[in-house]
Amino acid sequence: MRPTPALLSLFLLAASSCTHGSNRQETPASPSSMDPAERGRALAQRVIIADGHIDVPYRLHEKLGSDGQPTEDISQRTAGGDFDHPRAVEGGFDVAFMSIYIPAELQTKPGASKVLADSLIDMVEKIARQSPGKFAMARSVEEARSNTQQGKVSFALGIENGSAIEDSLQNVAHFHQRGVRYITLTHSKDNQISDASFNSGKRTWNGLSPFGKQVVAEMNRVGIMVDVSHLSDDAIRQAVELSQVPVIASHSSCRHFTPGFERNISDELIRALAAKGGVVMINFGSAFLTQAANAYELEVRKAVMAFAQERGLARDSAELQAFAESYLREHPAPLARVEDVADHIDHVVKLVGIDHVGLGSDFDGVGPSLPIGLKDVSQYPNLFRVLLERGYSEADIEKIASGNVFRVWQKVESHAVGR
Identify the CA nearest to 231 among candidates 242, 221, 222, 240: 240
Answer for the pair 272, 240: CB distance below 8 angstroms, yes or no. yes
Please give the pLDDT value at position 64: 86
Report which residue type is found at 246.
Answer: P
> Average pLDDT of the chain?
92
Distances (CA, A) of 398 to 45, 175, 228, 382: 11, 29, 23, 15
For 189-243, write each residue's pLDDT tens digit: 999 999 999 876 779 999 999 999 999 999 999 999 999 999 999 999 999 999 9
Answer for the pair 153, 134: CB distance below 8 angstroms, yes or no. yes
Segment 251-255 shows an average pLDDT of 98
Q: Which residues of 87-115 are buried (b: 16+ CB within 10 A; e: fewer)?
A: bbbbbbbbbbbbbbbbbbebbeeeebbbe
Answer for the pair 341, 366: CB distance below 8 angstroms, yes or no. no
Please give the pLDDT value at position 45: 97
Please give the pLDDT value at position 417: 82
Please give the pLDDT value at position 140: 98
Residue 27: pLDDT above 80?
Answer: no
Of the listed ranges 65-74, 92-101, 142-151, 403-412, the one predicted with least confidence: 65-74
Answer for the pair 198, 263: CB distance below 8 angstroms, yes or no. yes
Distances (CA, A) of 12 to 55, 58, 185, 404: 17, 17, 21, 33
Rounded Cα distance, 386 and 316, in Å: 40
For 101-150, write each residue's pLDDT tens digit: 999 999 999 999 999 999 999 999 999 999 999 999 999 999 999 999 99
Please give the pLDDT value at position 26: 43
User: In sequence order, what are the beta bridge partners of 231?
Assistant: 196
Rounded Cα distance, 86 and 92, in Å: 10
Segment 307-316 shows an average pLDDT of 90
In the structure, what pLDDT confidence band is assigned to residue 13 with cuts at 50, 70 and 90? very low
For 183-200, write each residue's pLDDT tens digit: 999 999 999 999 999 876
Residue 14: pLDDT above 50?
Answer: no
Rounded Cα distance, 196 and 204, in Å: 9
Please give the pLDDT value at position 395: 98
User: Domains of the chain, with CATH numbers?
Assistant: 7-418 (3.20.20.140)
Beta strands, E only, 129-219: 135-137, 153-160, 180-184
Segment 339-351 shows an average pLDDT of 98
Enter the pTM of the model. 0.91
Please give the pLDDT value at position 1: 61
In the structure, what pLDDT confidence band is assigned to residue 65 with cuts at 50, 70 and 90? confident
Rounded Cα distance, 284 and 369, in Å: 8
